[in-house]
Structure 1
């Protein structure tokens, strides 16, 4: 059995490392959500980078806790001319919280954070202990509530992502039960690899303030449950050239394919 587990883990680690010939795996972290024990820690997991759209999980908790968001389908907000629409036609449709999370619609995030206001937005970010906790981003178009989490002042490492996801899985953040319930609902992933029920969010960003698709970061972070067990995870890659689909979606698909092996208890480090 020990040899079988070792072979399975070696296969999974190799698949993550070879996710694509033009993407470099930066870090893979999987931890037991209850105890914090590291099941997997590979690569540079301590360097902070932009959280990009993975921060939508935090915004969801803030929005539902503050009452800006009501439930998975309320409020529904309309797109208006001048809103960011780099996601194409789907971003120009009326959007509710479930659709926002599924399609990663940036302008909806902005509407939630603007409703919170800069002071409360910063208070939540600090209370969550989220990365470097800097939600100010005082210069540029995406300052503060307009997008401090996108290639701007807010930074987080893979290890810090896992610490944050553990807080969600264990419900130790200073938010309401409703905020947890709704965030769990809208972050649920359709796929259940190996019987794991997964909640997660992708993110795609890059170094510097201007998005550079040829050096894009791809995140997939979240938590997963199977029976009594829960794990928290973060997977981060970086592209060496422009690719489609985006780095975050590819990170998600690769990680989900390997999750059952990575979460296997008792496997060798």
Structure 2
């Protein structure tokens, strides 16, 4: 499939990808309408998104199975998955930490099975030692060096192609650099820029910065772009929605930023893929 990359191109390790990808987490909402979920994934590719963000714990494999069924190898879609947590049905936050090296390996194997592939191009280690999200306690508090030793072994075995990190501090990122990190996923937006120092280090090191919660909000106490009068006014001036403005600001803020806006709605997908570059 030949499609113009959405948002232009960027680097994900040795891979060249569209700067706008697709975050698949919300597709779990379409469990009762599998065809609609697959239609969203295929439309994202038609609009130029050639990398998709997923995890085994998104719907306990359901989202991975959608990706498996939506795309053929000829579609050229780079799958980026995430490990470090497991599904915990019935809990207020339906996840539990799974940070031990053996659990990381088991999660990679689960992802391989549900995705129906032999190797995952990029796997992010979701650390749980800082907010937002659940935090690890007890024997789930594991040094990043031990985790990366297991992930490096998985990379050498060919089960994963490259290693990323998610939810990390500046100290953890610096300690992880010798393992060859290709991307970092942290909460970051135009209204929540606490990790500017991590973004700067990633820019210097040629590491992709892939923000989650790119519109702010998502958890209590975090500001949202559509509640900020200054940014709402700027969006109005540009003739775009506050969400489009916030995503476009990220594209213009640093050249190594890649976006993975997620939705289960085709109209919202169309909006997310038609972004200005805001500087």
TM bin, normalised by shorter chain, reads under 0.3
TM-score norm. by structure 1 comes to 0.27
TM-score norm. by structure 2 comes to 0.27
